Structure 1
């Protein structure tokens, strides 16, 4: 199995179907699709069962939050690469998956990344992340580029599973930490010249913004040290003030 696409859900009846439909639009024998549900009490499981003929495996059980569920997904994945596409998010278009698989077969890099298109709940486009937020997207990404925050949207980041660590389970910036640790372990990192995903704005870290900022500071301090992180957070505040869109 070349690629595992993993979707994490919890009471996601409003958004899950759009995610499933985008993933299964380009079926491939080299791709498995896993859904890890946290014991939803709405119609999420009804939607999963509706499409289970196109889902490799799914489970529904209590978990300890988003990143605990993501760890479960990684541990159950069989693909050489892992790609998280959570409820509400979508592959950018029907050619995205074939294009990604072609690059993986051609270069076998450790990490693939690209831009993400931000979309509203009704599907309307907000704009590319690198344009509508202060986060420019380097064409030659290294872990040092993360010193001022998350340069790559998590849903636009595909990692070789053998280098992917477990997520921190009690930190709202665990995806930032995960990307940094993947980049540190990667020997080959490749920028993709096509957009990987549509990202539904308003996720968990946006809903709990203050704690997210504190957790981000902890992650960056662990990787870059206290003084550089303090200085960089001053730059982050200045950058956000200059930018018309709040830092995401």
Structure 2
């Protein structure tokens, strides 16, 4: 029997992108999807677009929330699927066959993950994320940076604990690490599974986000190892920008 996937989209005042995101979910060839949409009481016409597809949604809530991760927790509490996937407004599941291909990769894994393609505000491709997905992923894989985005990871619902609201910008990293710590089988799909719109909350509050990530990594990996790892992160970042500048010259 095909596992049931709960796809959760959260949105607030994003009339420009919400339909594109919703159609990437609703147009999946995979038949066993439960689509949950959490809106933070938008007032810009977002709800009008959502209502066009309301009959195809398993759950729809529109009410004020305490931020992105509070909204994601609301979606998680409503999910009844075997797996959960967060596909927030502005992002897309990569192609109509993506979910089917993910579950065809292996049977009954605890976590499936893949690669992410980045797009700008004009929805022009910026190519692969700077942090490529690791060949083998576990809870320690974030030591050297954000290796998997939450749009590109399918987590067994039994492992999906609520997001920690102590973190405002990077709670998804903490959430993925906790799930991975409890997972016994993690499968790399070796394919693109998500399209990511750059410029989200963590980018707009970049310094605060980086500080929060440092706290999270210190919690799991220890302060001294984390400081050492950040030296490698800085070196890799410098090398990336040097290579990138050369290719653009």
Give yes or no for TM over 0.5.
Answer: yes
State the distance in 1 between where 2:177 and 2:12 align: 26
Tell me if structure 1 keeps the 8 A contact 2:34–2:57: yes
Structure 2 counterpart of 1:69: 71
State the distance in 2 between where 1:56 and 1:29 align: 13
Tell me if structure 2 keeps the 8 A contact 1:5–1:85: yes
Structure 1 residue 234 displacement after superposition? 2.0
Structure 1 residue 193 displacement after superposition? 2.1
Tell me if structure 1 keeps the 8 A contact 2:30–2:97: no
Structure 2 counterpart of 1:35: 37
Give the 3-state SS of the residue equivalent to 2:143 in structure 1: helix
| Pair 1:164-2:160 in alignment | yes
Structure 1 counterpart of 2:208: 211
Tell me if structure 2 keeps the 8 A contact 1:112–1:192: yes
Structure 1 residue 29 displacement after superposition? 4.1
State the distance in 2 between where 1:141 and 1:119 align: 24
| Pair 1:137-2:133 in alignment | yes
State the distance in 2 between where 1:240 and 1:29 align: 41
Among candidates 90, 93, 98, match of residue 92 of structure 2: 90
| Pair 1:3-2:5 in alignment | yes
| Pair 1:202-2:202 in alignment | no
| Pair 1:173-2:170 in alignment | yes
State the distance in 1 between where 2:47 and 2:53 align: 10
Structure 2 counterpart of 1:114: 114
Structure 1: state its 5+ residue gaps. Answer: none
| Matched residues, number | 240
Structure 2: state its 5+ residue gaps. Answer: 245-249
Among candidates 209, 230, 233, match of residue 230 of structure 2: 233
Structure 1 residue 139 displacement after superposition? 1.5
Give the 3-state SS of the residue equivalent to 1:62 in structure 2: coil
Give the 3-state SS of the residue equivalent to 2:190 in structure 1: coil
Structure 2 counterpart of 1:127: 127
Give TM-score, length-normalised by structure 1. 0.92
Give TM-score, length-normalised by structure 2. 0.92
Give the 3-state SS of the residue equivalent to 1:19 in structure 2: helix
State the distance in 2 between where 1:39 and 1:170 align: 23
Deviations along 1:10-52, one digit per CA (max 9) or x if unpaired, are 1111110100111111254411000011111111110110111
Deviations along 1:55-87, one digit per CA (max 9) or x if unpaired, are 221101111100011111111000010000000
Give the 3-state SS of the residue equivalent to 2:191 in structure 1: coil
Give the 3-state SS of the residue equivalent to 2:51 in structure 1: helix
Structure 2 counterpart of 1:151: 147
Structure 1 counterpart of 2:188: 191
Deviations along 1:147-179, one digit per CA (max 9) or x if unpaired, are 122211110011001011111113211111111
